[in-house]
Amino acid sequence: MNHPHLPHKLRIGILVTETTSPSLAQQHGDMFSMFQQVFHQTSAIGEGQLILDLVRFNVLDDPPQYPSTHDLDSGHYDGLVITGSTKNAHDDDPWIHTLMSFIQQLQQHPLDRKVPLVGICFGHQIIARALGGVCERNPHGWEFGPTLVRLTDQGRSYFGSKHTMCLNQIHQDHVPFLPPGFIRLATTEPHTSIQAMVSADGRCLSIQGHPEISCAATTTFLDILAPQIPDAVVQDARDRLQQHAGSMDDLWLAEKILLFFCRHLHTRTTLCISPSL
């Protein structure tokens, strides 16, 4: 990443919401290591290198791991990421309600002390549910493998430079409508209306697709989940995994996420969607 005025170091808390299967972890690492890989790859692009300090929090543990209130209030973390999960964001397990309470408390902080938050897949869905929206089964079924996601007018203004992005999808749930105070950035309508959204205060960004999961890892996910998925969807996903393996926008989106965290370090004020990252 070679951008003027970027900080030298960025500390990001990764809230891990998945216990990765041994077969997947052995081949591709767990959710935390997948984010490590894509963020470190992105930070090393260009002449200037951004040093990343990624801190793991296992929210499924008993007791669950979360950043302390002191660390959040004191600016110890420059950003937080809620990962994807094979769990359902619309379930009512105690750890899911604990995570929703954490999201709600985080968003109630004064703007100048609100830690920027990113949600991916399950993270996108749980943010929507926690902040007044809905997550539910998608009546259109699974969305799996490399998928062309269209940026809305607001999304093109927010991200800049692209009209579409190709990301791996692994989900059968969706956010059917925006929670209060959010703006839609991307869509795959008619399948999934809300593929990305940002809060009006600019401090919360969520994305349905996976910049952190490579096509190789998506293939392994597909092998594991295939018994739960219609055969036609499985075959279509396998075909697209072969066709699009070299044309994904993983690093492009990962860079946008890091820039989302970086730019808040310089302002600590309201950032609406008008400036491009």
Give the pLDDT score at 17.
97
Q: How confident is the chain (277 residues) per 10-residue block, as mean pLDDT?
A: 63 95 89 96 71 96 94 93 96 97 93 91 98 98 98 95 95 98 98 97 97 96 96 97 94 95 63 41
Question: So which residues are the catalytic ones?
Answer: 121, 210, 212
Give the pLDDT score at 70.
93
Q: What structural domains and CATH numbers belong to the chain?
A: 9-267 (3.40.50.880)
Phi-psi region of 124 (alpha: psi -120 to 50; beta: other; left: phi over 0): alpha
pTM of the predicted structure, to 2 decimals: 0.92
Give the pLDDT score at 9.
85
Give the pLDDT score at 271.
35
Give the pLDDT score at 270.
35
Give the pLDDT score at 46.
55
> Virtual CA dihedral for 233, 144, 124, 154, nearest 10 degrees?
-100
Long-range Cβ contact pairs of 70-78 (< 8 A, separation 24 or more): 72/106, 72/109, 72/113, 72/115, 73/109, 73/113, 75/113, 76/11, 77/11, 77/12, 77/13, 77/115, 78/7, 78/10, 78/11, 78/12, 78/115, 78/116, 78/261, 78/262, 78/264, 78/265
Give the pLDDT score at 110.
84
